[in-house]
Amino acid sequence: LPSSPSHGAVTALPPPRASLTARALSPQRCVERLRNSRAKLLDRYRQAGARVGASAAGALLVREVMEQEWQALRSAPESLPMLEDPDELAVLEEIQRELVLQEQLVLEEYERSLQFDEECLNAMLDGLDASDKIICPVCRNAPVSLGYFLKQLH
């Protein structure tokens, strides 16, 4: 028996209208690109240091990712529809906000890691200053007195 839509048979609705452009700029794709370039991002922050503020550096990377996506779309076939729908523009703005938030989270994680490393180093140096002893680099067991080495130098 052929099913007819008028007798209560379930008919498949057409998929919601979504342009290929919006799908190409999915948040997952942009976030994945950011995750893949995490090492590059951390190197950039290490080099930037005090030259560039943290928020400015994060904004620059987000802008760079968005520009890369835009260039990828522009090199795609001309059959792709252009972004004219306000809903599509809202999606792009939401993606940009998510990318900025992701950048801030990565930067905060890096700063926490850097602070932890600095605290550990300071604790180790304080321990060395308090005991005035250094572990022997040859046997790695016994502490070496700095006074002994200073006497040998004079």
Q: To the nearest whole percent, how much of the chain has pLDDT over 70?
A: 40
Mean pLDDT, the chain, rounded, equals 67
Of the two residues 70 and 129, the one the predictor is more confident about is 70
**SS3 call for 27:** helix
The answer to whether 38 and 76 have CB atoms below 8 angstroms apart is: no
Q: Cα 61 vs. chain centroid, distance in angstroms?
A: 9
3-state secondary structure of 55: helix
In tens, the pLDDT along 66-93 reads 777 777 777 765 555 555 667 777 888 8
User: How far is 14 from 20, CA to CA, in rounded Å?
Assistant: 16
pLDDT at 36: 63
CA distance 17 to 88: 11
CB neighbours of 143 closer than 8 A, spacing ≥ 6?
A: 131, 133, 134, 135, 136
If you average pLDDT over residues 98-120, what whole number do you get? Answer: 91
Question: 79 φ, ψ to 5°?
Answer: -75, -10
DSSP structural state of residue 9 = -
